[in-house]
Copies of this chain bind each other. A is one copy, B any other.
Amino acid sequence: MANTERFSGVISPALTPFKADLSPDTERFVKHCNWLLEQGCAGLAVFGTTSEANSQSGAERMALLEALVESGIDPKVLMPGTGATSITEAVQLTKHAVDLGCGGVLMLPPYYYKNVNDDGIFRFFDEVIQRIGDDALQVYLYHIPPQTVFGFSLDLIGRLVQAYPKTVVGLKDSSGDWNNMEAILKNFPGFNMFPGSEIHMLAGLRNGASGCITATANANPAQLRSLYDNWQTPQADDMQAAITALRKTIQSFPMVPALKEIIAHFKEDDGWKHNRPPFTQMPAEQVKDLLAELAKHNFSLEPSKLAMAGDD
């Protein structure tokens, strides 16, 4: 059955908690994902870069995804990362997500080789989509040159959308390059583009973006949701300014370890501090600096509406 629903709003690339032995911590993961939805996230892009997805095996990711659905989360709000360097694994992970009823998947290009061209990337997606062969599949392209080096050119996006207009329906742009986001919005009206950082959220929404998929939604989902709900109000620019300042503070630290430290601190749960290599745990001194910086923003995980309006 064709899937005609599209994602919109604030989507969190949920962090993956690990136990002390570095195995995935299913219980904390399920709890965190439910909290993100309660706080106003419209969807969960589980197994993205922030989720340390590629630091996990396919089997580990599939088990975590099943645990989310079993916990009662509507699979329609789930947009798992199912990209891989091989068609074999991309097909396995994507089919698993579609079979579970996920609303969409966020797919990296095959990121090992660097000297690839658009024909090769097109061929990869063509093979995967053909092998899934299911109208329920909704692919969001994951454009993240800071990690993959190459990404999706405008020409390639156009070819994929033309070949699979009901399947290739959107893109997360983590290039950090507003000109690229703007060009996608202009060239592909109706295509669901999500900036990969809330720094571009308001500009995105004013130019037709569908919301935002951003790492820091793990720590300030409510504040981001508030901007999404109020982007056409006179307060929007002030809200964006506060959000941008907080984002710049957080991203001045190693992003994933920092987000885990923030959750560990504000939820008083040291079980959140573990991450897998190649990440390392933040030194205590750096954590102290992070928390001191956050205090300057009156940061809290669940801010009151008053605080979010900038009344401090």
Contact = CB atoms under 8 A, between A and B. Distances in A.
A22 B58 CA distance: 21
Contact of A89 (B57, B146, B149): B57
A66 B112 CA distance: 24
B149 A280 contact: no
A278 interface: yes
Given A113-B147, A147-B113, A123 B280 contact: yes
Copies in the complex: 2
Interface residues of A, number: 40
A110 interface: yes
Interface string A135-164: 000000000001101000000000000000
A111 interface: yes
Given A56-B86, A112-B54, A112-B111, A22 B276 contact: no
A144 to B, nearest CB: 10
Contacts of A124: 277-278
A85 interface: yes
Interface in A212-228: none
A109 B146 contact: no
Contacts of A146: 114-115
A55 B276 contact: no
B113 A22 contact: no
Contacts of A54: 85-86, 110, 112-113
A286 interface: no
Interface in A40-86: 49, 54-60, 85-86
Contacts of A244: none
Contacts of A245: none
Nearest to A85: B54
Contacts of A87: 22, 55, 276-277
Given A55-B87, A120-B277, 20 more contacts: A22-B87, A22-B127, A54-B86, A54-B113, A57-B58, A59-B88, A60-B88, A109-B278, A110-B278, A113-B147, A114-B147, A115-B146, A116-B278, A117-B280, A120-B278, A121-B277, A121-B278, A124-B277, A124-B278, A126-B277
Interface of A: 22, 49, 54-60, 85-89, 92, 109-117, 119-121, 123-124, 126-127, 146-147, 149, 254, 276-280
